[in-house]
Amino acid sequence: MTEIKKLTKIAIVIVAIVGFLFGTILTFLYDMTMNPEGWTNPYYPRFFGGIAYLVSIFAIILLRKKEWEEIKLTFTFLYSFFLPTLIIEITVTAIFGSTFQPSTVLTFLTTTTPLMAVLLVLGIVTYLKQVK
């Protein structure tokens, strides 16, 4: 059995914090922070916020485990969550970016998209270092 490395634990803590923040913003603060465009269907962002909460809960559960073999599959799920999210954000920005306000496009390009890309790279690097 392989022990969980410190870098892996740090990466899991980061996912828990980011998942909790995104979950809170998208579920409860959507109208105040994320809806400058006046979208009339708030259910998709709130659904995504619920998924972000689940990711955060899974990350907290993973922190209680001691062995890598116990968390390998769930760790892979946690970080594979960021790949489709990143693809969707880039696609939405490319297709609908001209219809958004400049502040919304700036938020996508400077905050959420780079954050998701960094988290995805962190997950890949952590997984590769843990497996070695």
Range of the domain at 11: 6-131
Please tell me the predicted confidence (pLDDT) of residue 37. 59
pLDDT at 32 over 70: no
* Count of CA atoms in the C-beta half-sphere (13 A) of 86: 14
Burial zone of 123 (CB within 10 Å; 0-12 exposed, 13-18 middle, 19+ buried): buried
pLDDT value at position 18? 92
- Kindly report the pTM of this predicted structure: 0.82
Q: Residue 1 domain-assigned? A: no
Buried residues in 21-59 as b, exposed as e (16+ CB within 10 A): ebbebbbeebeeebeeeeeeeeeebeebbebbbebbebb
Stated as kind and residue range, the H or E segment containing 52 is helix 43-63
User: Which pLDDT tens digit goes with each residue over 15-30?
Assistant: 999 999 988 988 887 6
Percentage with pLDDT > 70 across the chain = 89
The string of pLDDT tens digits covering residues 77-126 is 888 888 888 898 888 888 877 877 787 778 778 888 898 899 999 999 99
User: Which of 40-44, 48-52, 96-100, 120-124 has the lowest average pLDDT?
Assistant: 40-44
Identify the band that residue 40 occupies on the pLDDT scale cut at 50, 70 and 90.
low
CA–CA distance, 77 with 12 (Å, rounded to integer): 12
Domain count, the chain: 1
Mean pLDDT of the chain: 85
Asked, for residue 16, whether it belongs to a domain, the answer is yes
62 belongs to a structural domain: yes
Residue 122 lies in a domain: yes
- The tokens for 36 are 């400058």
